[in-house]
Copies of this chain bind each other. A is one copy, B any other.
Amino acid sequence: MTHLVYPGALHTRFHHALGAMHLMSLAINLLRSKGHTITDGEEEAAILAILLHDIGHGPFSHALEHSLVTGIKHEDISAKLMRDLNVHFEGRLTHAIEIFNGTYPKKFLHQLISGQLDLDRMDYLNRDSFFTGVSEGVISFDRIIKMFNVYDDDLVIEEKGIYSIEKFLIARRLMYWQVYLHKTVIAGEMILVKLLERAKELSATGADLFASPSLNYFLKNDINEANFFSQHENLEHFTNLDDQDIYAAVKVWTKHPDKILSTLCKMLTSRNLYKVEMGNEMANLNRVTFLQDAAVNLLEIKPEEARYFVFTDSIQNRAYNAGVGNIKILMKNNDIVDIAKASDLSNLESLQKTVEKYILCYPRGI
Tell me whether B140 and A163 are in contact (CB under 8 A): no
Contact residues of A between 133 and 155, Cβ < 8 Å to B = 135-136, 138-140, 143
Could you say which residues of chain B place their CB within 8 Å of the CB of A242? 251
Q: Decide if A247 is an interface residue (CB 8 Å cutoff).
A: yes
Instruction: Among B143, B248, B345, point to the contact of A173 (Cβ < 8 A).
Output: B345
Q: Decide if A18 is an interface residue (CB 8 Å cutoff).
A: yes
* Minimal beta-carbon separation of A158 from chain B (angstroms): 14
Inter-chain CA distance A166–B164, complex, in Å, is 16
Q: Decide if A347 is an interface residue (CB 8 Å cutoff).
A: yes
Q: Decide if A245 is an interface residue (CB 8 Å cutoff).
A: yes
Tell me whether A212 and B163 are in contact (CB under 8 A): no
Could you say which residues of chain B place their CB within 8 Å of the CB of A14? 7
* Minimal beta-carbon separation of A255 from chain B (angstroms): 8
Inter-chain CA distance A269–B243, complex, in Å, is 15
Tell me whether A248 and B251 are in contact (CB under 8 A): no
Q: Decide if A167 is an interface residue (CB 8 Å cutoff).
A: yes
Q: Decide if A8 is an interface residue (CB 8 Å cutoff).
A: yes
Q: Decide if A303 is an interface residue (CB 8 Å cutoff).
A: no
Contact residues of A between 164 and 187, Cβ < 8 Å to B = 164, 166-167, 170-171, 173-174, 177-178
| Given contacts A248-B212, A251-B212, A18 and B7 within 8 Å (CB-CB) | yes
Inter-chain CA distance A345–B173, complex, in Å, is 9
Tell me whether A10 and B12 are in contact (CB under 8 A): yes
Tell me whether B177 and A163 are in contact (CB under 8 A): yes
Contact residues of A between 342 and 357, Cβ < 8 Å to B = 344-347, 350-351, 355
Tell me whether A174 and B163 are in contact (CB under 8 A): yes
- Secondary structure class of chain A's binding surface, majority of residues: helix
Q: Decide if A364 is an interface residue (CB 8 Å cutoff).
A: no
Q: Decide if A32 is an interface residue (CB 8 Å cutoff).
A: no
* Minimal beta-carbon separation of A123 from chain B (angstroms): 13
Tell me whether B247 and A251 are in contact (CB under 8 A): no
Q: Decide if A15 is an interface residue (CB 8 Å cutoff).
A: yes
Residue of B whose beta carbon sits closest to that of A355: B344
Tell me whether A252 and B212 are in contact (CB under 8 A): yes
Q: Decide if A60 is an interface residue (CB 8 Å cutoff).
A: no
Q: Decide if A244 is an interface residue (CB 8 Å cutoff).
A: yes
* Minimal beta-carbon separation of A192 from chain B (angstroms): 14
Q: Decide if A213 is an interface residue (CB 8 Å cutoff).
A: yes
Q: Decide if A240 is an interface residue (CB 8 Å cutoff).
A: yes
Contact residues of A between 1 and 48, Cβ < 8 Å to B = 7-8, 10-12, 14-15, 18
Ranked nearest first, the 9 interchain pairs of A and B with the lowest CB-CB distance are: A347-B347, A248-B248, A244-B244, A10-B10, A244-B247, A244-B248, A163-B174, A136-B167, A135-B140
Measuring CB to CB, which residues of chain A are less than 8 angstroms from any residue of chain B? 7-8, 10-12, 14-15, 18, 131, 135-136, 138-140, 143, 163-164, 166-167, 170-171, 173-174, 177-178, 210, 212-213, 240, 242-245, 247-248, 251-252, 344-347, 350-351, 355
- 6 A-B pairs within 8 Å (CB atoms) are namely A7-B18, A8-B11, A8-B15, A243-B244, A244-B247, A244-B248
- Known contacts A135-B140, A212-B252, then 4 further A-B pairs from the complex at CB < 8 Å, ordered by chain A residue: A10-B12, A163-B177, A173-B345, A244-B244
